[in-house]
């Protein structure tokens, strides 16, 4: 039972040509709804679109398997792409697919979407025995996993499966960090910068002193931190009274994540404490408001988990050496695991993602599709054996 390479390639290219920035996935969702219904699924579009201000929700496609006793399997990928991602012109050089250099390719994550569709084509045209399969094509993964966050997993029969959303073939990502989204609002006191700067407290200076004390970047082998955005000030001749800093911290250890987040807050609070001013009998003090939110929890699927064992067995059948790995990034799998499912992230062949140099080797795409097909077949076979016991 082989993957139809031509069909897979053509679908990928067709999907890449459909614009689908986060919150604007409607066109690609309608194309996929058609595909899923043609393949025999019952399709639901959930209300995530309304909840996140997008033009369509998550697409949930339920396939009834021929083996009702087999363990249902989840296959998921995200429909949205990052900027610049409109009007993508895919170019094929031999087996290498890339954009024309103005936009990303969008193989992240249309390669995952196309692989899932192709595998289901093969299952259907060969009448392969298989379990129930739940397909979830999410929206807004790139906007902070918010499509997956809105997903009601009680709509799914599967409690285990795969997200197809990572790069080099031969890897299964089973561990990912937890992340905090961090926002600091530094308040100073405004004054005329030329006439009476002594009547002001510069929020820019407070922020700068605080940031200068912060450990940022790679903190240790499992922890990172970043201040990524800074906004503030009104004009060059006004002592600024407001600066907003936005950043994040990530760690594979919950304790280290808390410690790093607290460290960043303390650096700013200590800087603010050093800036006080007595003016007309009143006392002014720089201050910091901190807004800290858990963006997503860490993912940790053990090597002994059934889904990891299943993927390993499939890799072995294809003579592929598969390694489980930790990533520094978060993906929909973080959220699905947080919601009680057991989900790992399988690679699709996408490379240099989130850049206009993004490319994909079609041979990796075909191999990844072959892997997923093997996983679907083994998942069916495994349970059949077990129910005969």
In the complex, least distance from residue 179 CB atom to Zn ion, rounded to whole angstroms: 15
Identity of the residue, 107 or 210, whose beta carbon is nearer to Zn ion in the bound complex: 107
Residue 107 vs residues 99, 104, 235: alpha-carbon distances, Å:
10, 8, 43
Size of the site for Zn ion (CB under 5 A): 3
Identity of the residue, 7 or 354, whose beta carbon is nearer to Zn ion in the bound complex: 354
- Could you give the 3-state DSSP secondary structure of residue 187? strand
Q: What is the DSSP letter of 115?
A: H
Query: Torsions phi, psi of 238, nearest 5?
Result: -120, 130
β-pair partners for 342 = 160
In the complex, least distance from residue 282 CB atom to Zn ion, rounded to whole angstroms: 52
Residue 145 vs residues 22, 175, 292: alpha-carbon distances, Å:
10, 16, 17
Identity of the residue, 148 or 310, whose beta carbon is nearer to Zn ion in the bound complex: 148
In the complex, least distance from residue 47 CB atom to Zn ion, rounded to whole angstroms: 23
Of 165, 167, 297, 374, the one binding Zn ion by CB under 5 A:
165
In the complex, least distance from residue 216 CB atom to Zn ion, rounded to whole angstroms: 25
Which positions are annotated as active-site residues?
80, 141
Residue 108 binds to Zn ion (criterion: CB under 5 A): yes
The span of 67-75, 103-111, 156-164, 296-304 binding Zn ion (CB under 5 A) equals: 103-111
Residue 374 binds to Zn ion (criterion: CB under 5 A): no
The span of 17-25, 34-42, 163-171, 235-243 binding Zn ion (CB under 5 A) equals: 163-171
The span of 52-60, 148-156, 164-172, 309-317 binding Zn ion (CB under 5 A) equals: 164-172
Identity of the residue, 109 or 364, whose beta carbon is nearer to Zn ion in the bound complex: 109
Q: Are strands 178-187 and 191-192 parallel, antiparallel or unpaired?
A: unpaired
- Could you give the 3-state DSSP secondary structure of residue 256? helix
Q: What is the CA radius of gyration of the chain?
A: 25
The span of 97-105, 165-173, 187-195, 240-248 binding Zn ion (CB under 5 A) equals: 165-173
Of 25, 46, 80, 109, the one binding Zn ion by CB under 5 A:
109
The span of 26-34, 100-108, 132-140, 334-342 binding Zn ion (CB under 5 A) equals: 100-108
Residue 80 binds to Zn ion (criterion: CB under 5 A): no
In the complex, least distance from residue 105 CB atom to Zn ion, rounded to whole angstroms: 12
Residue pair 164/109 in contact by the 8 Å Cβ criterion:
yes
DSSP string, 185-235: EEE-B-EETTT-GGG-B-HHHHHHHHHHH---EEEETTEEEEEEEEEE-S-
CA distance 231 to 241: 12
| H or E element that contains 128 | none
Q: Are strands 323-326 and 171-176 parallel, antiparallel or unpaired?
A: parallel
Q: Compute the Cα dihedral for 78, 13, 325, 304 and give only its sign.
A: positive
- CA 224 vs. chain centroid, Å, equals 17
Residue 31 buriedness (CB in 10 A; 0-12 / 13-18 / 19+) = middle
Identity of the residue, 105 or 203, whose beta carbon is nearer to Zn ion in the bound complex: 105
Identity of the residue, 163 or 380, whose beta carbon is nearer to Zn ion in the bound complex: 163
In the complex, least distance from residue 379 CB atom to Zn ion, rounded to whole angstroms: 24
By the criterion CB under 5 A, which residues form the site for Zn ion? 108-109, 165
């Amino acid at each position: 039972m082989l993957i139809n390479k031509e069909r897979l390639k053509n679908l990928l290219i067709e999907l890449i040509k459909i614009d689908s920035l986060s919150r604007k996935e409607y066109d690609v969702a309608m194309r996929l709804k058609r595909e899923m219904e043609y393949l025999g699924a019952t399709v639901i579009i959930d209300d995530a679109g309304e909840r996140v201000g997008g033009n369509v929700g998550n697409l949930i496609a339920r396939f009834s398997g021929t083996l009702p006793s087999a363990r249902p399997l989840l296959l998921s990928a995200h429909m949205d792409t990052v900027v610049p991602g409109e009007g993508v012109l895919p170019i094929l050089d031999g087996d290498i697919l890339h954009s024309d250099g103005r936009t990303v390719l969008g193989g992240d994550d249309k390669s995952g979407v196309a692989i899932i569709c192709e595998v289901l084509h093969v299952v259907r045209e060969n009448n392969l025995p298989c379990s129930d399969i739940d397909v979830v094509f999410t929206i807004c993964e790139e906007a902070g996993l918010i499509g997956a966050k809105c997903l009601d997993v009680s709509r799914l029969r599967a409690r285990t499966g795969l997200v197809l959303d990572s790069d080099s073939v031969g890897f299964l990502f089973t561990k990912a960090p937890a992340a905090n989204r961090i926002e600091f609002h530094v308040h100073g006191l405004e004054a005329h910068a030329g006439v009476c700067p002594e009547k002001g407290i510069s929020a820019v200076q407070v922020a700068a002193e605080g940031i200068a004390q912060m450990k940022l970047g790679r903190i240790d082998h499992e922890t990172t931190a970043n201040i990524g955005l800074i906004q503030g000030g009104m004009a060059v001749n006004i002592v600024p009274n407001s600066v907003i800093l936005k950043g994040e911290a990530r760690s594979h250890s919950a304790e280290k994540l808390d410690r790093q987040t607290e460290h960043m807050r303390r650096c700013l609070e200590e800087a603010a404490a050093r800036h006080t001013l007595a003016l007309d009998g009143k006392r002014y003090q720089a201050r910091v408001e901190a807004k800290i939110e858990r963006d997503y929890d860490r993912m940790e699927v053990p090597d002994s988990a059934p889904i990891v064992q299943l993927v390993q067995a499939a890799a072995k059948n294809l003579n592929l050496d598969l390694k489980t790995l930790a990533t520094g990034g978060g993906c929909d799998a973080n959220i699905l695991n947080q919601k009680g499912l057991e989900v790992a992230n399988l690679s699709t062949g996408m490379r240099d993602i989130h850049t206009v140099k993004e490319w994909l080797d079609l041979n990796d795409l075909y191999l990844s599709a072959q892997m997923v097909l093997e996983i679907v077949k083994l998942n069916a076979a495994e349970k059949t054996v077990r129910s005969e016991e």
